[in-house]
């Protein structure tokens, strides 16, 4: 290789075209940086929940020991597989002002440094010797408007009152407490086990007489075998230690594994968010390659005279391509540095959607690996594209026209010169060596597929979020521990449209402890979400949530499940339907409960069912009804299940993907049309010279465009509908709701027609320019 000549040509090319080279490098760097930014956000989004789990030292198992059962507490801590434990006391208090609200506090000595340590978002940790300083959960602080520095006045319930929580206990009989909120913390799903606030050992010393019991956080030995051993030992311990009569309402000891209850809640959203971000990164990367390739093609094509001179001087095509690659080094440096800087700046972007609430380190968090490796890769790709496009242009200038070949479809169109010429210009080898037609069709079809899939998923999600009847029909007001006089009074209230008394208990179904519900309509029965089958009516019938139905599918025999009664005997229940039920708190996963008839629940419940009421207000009367109840009754508004709010957090990503993919379709269509036009310039000039009228030339262009766009739409639309349906079914069923999809047929049809019509109208803009180019194109002839 003549390196002297190569370097001389590279310097000459750089001096004459340095501005364009830097602009192309900057453009590629910016778009490539967007790809790195998307990947950075995807990695941060996907890792947010695992990083929070690690940061707070989440326990492997959690169990409650109610009342003064210290011996049982010690037995739990010494079970096989337990490596470390912390068993703080738990208190429940009623707020002294505002709506009737209860708050729970945990505190205890011996708190390990690597077990249940919330991430501090605001303020500081409570001081060990201060009895009234607490670290408050982020969710409660946000809902109540409390911040670090606030105080909370409440009166504690006694242990006996907590044991009678579901049947009534009068006024709180414990001491009055003023809590000083010194910090706000974050943990995964805080509130289901760890109370609402964490206090100090000094709080324990002062108020231990009002403790309702303990919550035991356990660290198990790693591996499945220690967990199985622990689970068997705990089951045997719970069976041998039933709840004392005075604590029967609270039920037997139960264990919860966060990996089984928390991780599946977050997993579907993690998968969808990461897949969506990866998809958008891929589309952006393809757009960057297309745009940069076109820019480099045009740049190299403008120096054909220089190529001929260099060839006449004896330089080979390889040497000329290497010279253009060397001239692109400064542009590649700009592309790499720009993309690296953009990737590092992406550290300002926090996780998307609902996973933002699980970020353990809010604020700037760059990913140097993605930025540096990605920036270097983009610089190398820029150099490779420069060399490849230079080589392609050199081959193109020497290749001339290809000899037309007979296509298999020729006999079908021989009677229509316009159709024949249009298909030949679209699918036949034209001037130069642009992107092959099949590759263009497949590329456009891929972008259409992704766009339609995202639209299908988005419309199904919008329907789910906006239709509460699809996820359990949350009541306008939920009344906790409903008493008969209160229910009777509300039933006669003109502001109440419907009211159900809901019995809630625990049943042992097919060997699993399951939360079960029974509905008794009092006034105009409220609807529940029946996915299939019907509601249970007889005492031996049960309906399962979608998630529970999948879990117990293999344990059914002839459509029946075995249920273990409180006395240890067994019976069978006939499964008559699949129902999505409104959960009572954040610890219950959507679709993981059972519904029985009132008599059926009374018969099989292993804990005395508590009574709640679900109330639907008359239109326009909700606020007045709520105001009349909130100071005397414990009520909660319509709460959307966590699974639905988590899925709802996908909307910003879906909007972003829709915009990116719509832009991708436009870019892909424009690029494909440009390539087709470039390939067929000489053929178009020939037919115009042969006397084709403007109308026939227009029809020829329509045929050529239809040959490109129609197959892409025919492939992409049904594939996108199928892909969107599959992804939605997976996400919906994993989240505990029905997996049927809402196909955006009208939208997809309108969008496809718009793309097709625009693609046919766009070529008319070529006419005037091609009129002037006929002589130029045919000069070589």
Q: What is the pLDDT of residues 481-512, one digit of tens each?
A: 888 899 999 999 999 999 999 999 889 998 88
> Count H helices, E strands: the chain?
25, 21
Reading the block at residue 471, the tokens are 């996820």
- What per-residue confidence (pLDDT) applies to 763? 57
Residue 582 gets the label, from left (phi > 0), alpha (psi -120 to 50) or beta, of beta
Contacts of 387 by beta carbon, 8 Å cutoff, 6+ apart: 321, 322, 324, 325, 328
Percent of the chain with pLDDT over 90: 33
What per-residue string of b and e applies to 496-508 under the rule 16 or more CB within 10 Å gives b?
bbbbbbbbbbbbb
Q: How confident is the model at residue 116 (pLDDT cuts 50, 70, 90)?
A: very high
Task: Using DSSP, state whether 547 is helix, strand or coil.
Answer: helix
Residue 384, pLDDT above cutoff 60: yes
Write down the domain spans for the chain: 1-55+263-399, 59-261, 404-471+642-781, 473-640
Average pLDDT rounded to a whole number, residues 56-64: 93
- What per-residue confidence (pLDDT) applies to 399? 46
Q: Which residue would you say has higher pLDDT here, 117 or 692?
A: 117
Dist CA 601 CA 255 (whole Å)? 22
Q: Are 277 and 38 in contact (CB under 8 A)?
A: yes
Q: Which residue would you say has higher pLDDT here, 544 or 3?
A: 544
Residue 370, pLDDT above cutoff 50: yes
- Paired sense of beta strands 213-220 and 89-95, if any: antiparallel
Residue 397, pLDDT above cutoff 60: no
Residue 405, pLDDT above cutoff 70: no
pTM of the predicted model, to two decimals? 0.72
Average pLDDT rounded to a whole number, residues 588-608: 89
Average pLDDT rounded to a whole number, residues 733-741: 81
Average pLDDT rounded to a whole number, residues 752-760: 66
Residue 400, pLDDT above cutoff 50: no
- What per-residue confidence (pLDDT) applies to 654? 79
Residue 379, pLDDT above cutoff 80: yes
Task: Using DSSP, state whether 255 is helix, strand or coil.
Answer: strand
- What per-residue confidence (pLDDT) applies to 225? 92
pLDDT, averaged across the chain? 82
pLDDT tens across 223-256, in order? 999 999 999 999 888 888 877 766 666 666 788 8
Q: Are 76 and 237 in contact (CB under 8 A)?
A: yes
Dist CA 636 CA 477 (whole Å)? 6
- What per-residue confidence (pLDDT) applies to 105? 94
Q: Which residue would you say has higher pLDDT here, 114 or 324?
A: 114
Residue 307, pLDDT above cutoff 50: yes
- What per-residue confidence (pLDDT) applies to 120? 95
Residue 465, pLDDT above cutoff 80: yes
Of 6-10, 359-363, 726-730, highest mean pLDDT: 359-363
pLDDT tens across 561-586, in order? 999 887 888 999 999 999 888 887 76
Q: Which residue would you say has higher pLDDT here, 471 or 667?
A: 471
Q: Are 177 and 155 in contact (CB under 8 A)?
A: yes
Residue 88, pLDDT above cutoff 80: yes
Residue 667, pLDDT above cutoff 70: no
DSSP assigned state of 104: E
Average pLDDT rounded to a whole number, residues 648-669: 73
Dist CA 66 CA 393 (whole Å)? 80
Task: Using DSSP, state whether 719 is helix, strand or coil.
Answer: helix
- What per-residue confidence (pLDDT) applies to 691? 67
């Amino acid at each position: 290789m003549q390196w002297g000549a190569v370097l001389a040509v590279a310097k000459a090319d750089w001096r004459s075209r340095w501005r364009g080279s830097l602009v192309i490098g900057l453009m590629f760097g910016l778009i490539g940086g967007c790809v790195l930014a998307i990947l950075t956000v995807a990695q941060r989004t996907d890792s947010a929940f695992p990083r929070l789990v690690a940061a707070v030292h989440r326990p492997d198992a959690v169990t409650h020991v109610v009342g003064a059962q210290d011996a049982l507490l010690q037995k739990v801590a010494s079970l096989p597989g337990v490596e470390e434990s912390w068993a703080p006391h738990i208190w429940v208090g009623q707020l002294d002002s505002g709506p009737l609200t209860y708050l729970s506090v945990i505190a205890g000595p011996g708190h390990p440094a690597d077990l249940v340590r919330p991430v501090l978002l605001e303020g500081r940790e409570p001081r060990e010797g201060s009895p009234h300083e607490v670290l408050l959960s982020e969710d409660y602080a946000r809902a109540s408007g409390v911040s670090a520095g606030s105080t909370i006045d409440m009166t504690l319930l006694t242990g006996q009152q907590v044991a009678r929580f579901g049947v009534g206990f009068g006024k709180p009989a414990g001491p009055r407490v003023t809590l000083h909120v010194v910090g706000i913390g974050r943990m995964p799903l805080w509130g289901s086990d760890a109370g609402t606030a964490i206090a100090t050992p000094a709080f324990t010393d002062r108020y231990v007489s009002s403790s309702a019991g303990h919550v035991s956080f356990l660290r198990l030995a790693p591996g499945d075998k220690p967990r199985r051993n622990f689970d068997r030992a705990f089951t045997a311990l719970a069976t041998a230690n039933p709840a004392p009569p005075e604590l029967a309402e609270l039920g037997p000891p139960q264990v919860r594994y966060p990996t089984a209850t928390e991780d599946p809640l977050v997993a579907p959203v993690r998968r969808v968010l990461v897949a969506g971000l990866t998809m958008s990164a891929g589309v952006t990367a393809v757009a960057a390659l297309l745009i940069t390739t076109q820019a480099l093609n045009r740049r190299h094509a403008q120096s054909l005279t220089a190529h001929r001179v260099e060839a006449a001087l004896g330089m080979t095509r390889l040497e000329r391509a290497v010279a253009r690659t060397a001239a692109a080094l400064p542009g590649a440096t700009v592309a790499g540095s720009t993309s690296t800087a953009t990737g590092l700046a992406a550290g300002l972007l926090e996780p998307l959607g609902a996973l933002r609430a699980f970020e353990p380190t809010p604020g700037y968090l760059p990913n140097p690996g993605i930025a540096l490796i990605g920036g270097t890769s983009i610089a190398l790709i820029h150099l490779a594209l420069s060399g490849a496009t230079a080589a392609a242009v050199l081959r193109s200038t020497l290749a001339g026209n290809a000899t037309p070949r007979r296509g298999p479809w020729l006999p079908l169109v021989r009677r229509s010169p316009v159709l024949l010429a249009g298909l030949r210009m679209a699918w036949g080898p034209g001037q130069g060596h642009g992107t092959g037609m099949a590759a263009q069709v497949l590329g456009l079809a891929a972008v259409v597929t992704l766009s339609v899939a995202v639209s299908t998923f988005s419309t199904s999600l919008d329907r789910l979020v906006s239709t509460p009847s699809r996820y359990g029909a949350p009541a306008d007001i939920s009344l906790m521990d409903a008493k008969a006089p209160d229910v009777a009074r509300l039933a006669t209230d003109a502001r109440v449209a419907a009211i159900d008394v809901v019995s809630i208990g625990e049943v042992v179904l097919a060997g699993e402890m399951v939360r079960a519900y029974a509905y008794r309509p009092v006034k105009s029965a409220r609807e529940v979400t029946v996915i299939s089958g019907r509601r249970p009516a007889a005492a031996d019938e049960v309906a399962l949530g979608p998630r529970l139905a999948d879990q117990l599918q293999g344990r059914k025999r002839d459509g029946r499940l075995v249920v273990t009664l409180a006395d240890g005997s067994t019976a069978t229940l006939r499964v008559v339907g699949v129902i999505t039920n409104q959960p009572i708190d954040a610890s219950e996963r959507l679709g993981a409960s059972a519904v029985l008839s009132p008599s059926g629940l009374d018969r099989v419940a292993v804990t005395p069912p508590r009574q709640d009421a679900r109330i639907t207000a008359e239109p326009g009367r909700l606020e007045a009804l709520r105001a009349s109840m909130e100071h005397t009754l414990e009520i909660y508004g319509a709460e959307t299940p966590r699974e639905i709010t988590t899925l709802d957090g996908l909307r910003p990503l879906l909007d972003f993907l829709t915009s990116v993919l719509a832009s991708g379709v436009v870019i892909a269509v424009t690029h494909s049309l440009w390539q087709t036009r470039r390939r067929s310039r000489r053929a178009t000039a020939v037919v115009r010279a042969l006397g084709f009228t403007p109308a026939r030339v227009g029809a020829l262009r329509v045929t050529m465009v239809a040959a490109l766009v129609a197959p892409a739409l025919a492939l992409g639309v049904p594939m996108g509908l199928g892909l969107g349906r599959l992804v939605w079914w997976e996400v919906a069923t994993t989240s505990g709701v029905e997996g049927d999809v809402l196909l955006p047929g009208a939208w997809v049809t309108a969008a496809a027609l718009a793309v097709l019509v625009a693609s046919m109208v766009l070529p008319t803009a070529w006419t005037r320019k091609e009129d002037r180019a006929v002589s130029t194109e045919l000069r070589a002839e």
